[in-house]
Structures are given as C-alpha cells and as structure tokens.
A = this chain, B = another copy of it.
Amino acid sequence: MTPFTFDKLVIFGVGLIGGSLARALRERAGVAPGGRIVGVGRTRASAERARELGVVDDVASLDDDRELAAALAGADLILLAAPVAQTRPLLERILPFLGEHTIVTDAGSTKSDVVAAARAALGARAAQFVPGHPIAGRESSGVEAALPDLYVGRNVVLCPLPENRPADVARIDALWRVTGALVSTMSHEQHDRVFASVSHLPHLLSFALVERILSAPDAALKFSFAAGGFRDFTRIAASSPEMWRDVCLANRDALVDELDGYLAVLGQLRTAVLASDGATLEAVFSRSREARTQWQERGGLAPK
C-alpha cells in the first residue's frame, strides 16, 4: 500500500461519495495527528450533519468568504463531490482561495465536461486539477449511507490532464488506493465512451421502458403482470432524474453515438424477428449470454 498522509482535506459535498472517502481515510489510513477533514456545503447547516456523524472534523459554508478562505487555507487536497453541473461554479468560487500547492480532484461520472469546466474556471491553474471518477454507488444516498468500505474492490478512473504534475497525479492515485479501490488511468474521451456504453445508455434504456409502458392505455394491467425480468431491467429507472438528466446532457455526444450503435443492433434484431429468422436471434442471444456469464464469473459486481 502506497503511504498516504495529509494535513487538510476539504470535501465539497459530503454525501455518499465524499462521506465514504472521509470514512475510508479515517478507518483505513488513519488521519495524521493534526490532520483535518473539512466538509463544505451550500450552507453551513448542510455540512453540519456530516460533523455530527463524525465524518468530518470541521465544516464551512460555501456562501461565506471568511469561512471558505479558512477552510481552504493550507489544504493539501480538495475533492469535489457535488453534482457534475456544479463543477464550474464551484471551481470559480474556489479559485480566489486556492493555494499554490493544493491539488483539486473530483468524483463526477462524466469527464469531458468536467475538464472543459475546469479549464474555463481555472485557466492555467487547471494544471492543479486531476479529474477522477470513483465507480461506486448504492441505492441509498446522502452522508448517512456513507461506508468506510464503499470503495474496496471498486474501480476508480483518473483522467489526468497533459498539464498535471506527475507527482500530483501520483498523490490522487495513492489517495484512492488507500480506500481499497482499483485505480486506472485513461483519457477523458475514452472514459466518456466507456461509461456511455456500460452505464449511461442502460439508464436511458431503462427509463425509456417504463415510459413506454406508462404511455399504453392498459399500463396498470401491464405493471400488474411485470415480474423478475422487468424488476431487474428497470431497477436503475428508480435512479435520480436530476442526476441522470445532467449525465445525459454532459455526455451528450458519446451517449448519442452509443445509442445509435444500439439502435443499429435493435434494427437487426427487428428484421430477424419479422423474418422469423431464428438462427440470427439464437446466435445473438447465445453470444450475449456467454459474454454476460463470463463477466459475472470474472467477478461481476455485488451490491454493497
């Protein structure tokens, strides 16, 4: 395990993701004597809950210049764990108080838009910003749902900028490894293509299925006979509408590319069904089952 220490870590948005990182650092790495974790919320009150739970040591309000300046003074690291759409305004708010040696990272589930926001907000000081994405979630959210082992065995993707200092990237890498995560690196473009494919598109498709059923005059009858296949397929249709609206908008181009590729596959299957072409259907279904089964056998992912 790469050693990781810090004197001051500031987390913007202490919910499931930020709170779990704080709890992981406390329980797995130990916080050095004098080391502090500071939670910043839109208001002071929204971060207080995290202090009451012992997740952070100190809190500050985003709206109060004095509190924010005090929170950021001498910070080693800043983690943005607020909704992705807030990246640019948050960074603009942080910039006047950003120390020369402070490293900033984030936990957003899209990366090209975050990189653009960081460049727009920070200019040349975007060199201090190392984009990241921990792939971890639970059905519940909020700081109450934070777990010290949320990241154990989970992937964290870093998308370093060409202007990042290698030492800063290594430090963010070490931060996540301490939590038990598996850290990978790729470009932000590749990140967004990968997650459009395996995460964003499935969410869109799942929401769309429920919408399709709702639009039918006999929707109630249909829901009353929905069983296990529907249950699994639509579990992610219970996800946050605001979050997924933002993800779809932030990763628009990769998502539409992926959707178009998917529509081409559906078109082939539609043709095969209409032509009663059982051989094509069975070939596609067999390949899919084999790949899905292998994925599960290689470890898949169990809920936490």
- Which A residues form the contact surface with B (CB < 8 A)? 135-137, 154-155, 157, 184, 190, 193-195, 197-199, 201-216, 218-219, 221-242, 244-246, 248-249, 252, 255-256, 258-259, 261-263, 265-266, 269-270, 273-274, 276, 278, 281-282, 284-289, 291-293, 295-296, 300-301, 303
Contact = CB atoms under 8 A, between A and B. Distances in A.
A288 B244 CA distance: 12
B284 A211 contact: yes
Contacts of A259: 266, 270, 273
7 contacts: A137-B228, A197-B213, A202-B234, A206-B233, A212-B262, A233-B235, A240-B289
B212 A245 contact: no
A136 to B, nearest CB: 8
A150 to B, nearest CB: 12
Given A232-B235, A263-B263, A289-B238, A198 B211 contact: no
B198 A223 contact: yes
Contacts of A226: 198-199, 295, 301
B227 A301 contact: yes
B216 A197 contact: yes
Given A225-B135, A237-B289, A197 B212 contact: yes
B282 A214 contact: no
Given A198-B213, A270-B256, A208 B262 contact: yes
This chain's copy number in the assembly: 2
A273 B246 CA distance: 10
Contact of A157 (B135, B225, B241): B225
Contacts of A284: 207-208, 211
Given A223-B295, A263-B266, 15 more contacts: A157-B225, A194-B221, A198-B225, A207-B285, A211-B287, A212-B258, A226-B301, A227-B301, A239-B285, A241-B281, A241-B286, A246-B278, A255-B273, A256-B274, A263-B263
B198 A292 contact: no
> Which among A154, A276, A301 has the greatest number of chain B C-beta atoms within 10 A?
A301
Contacts of A204: 266, 269, 273
A135 B228 CA distance: 9
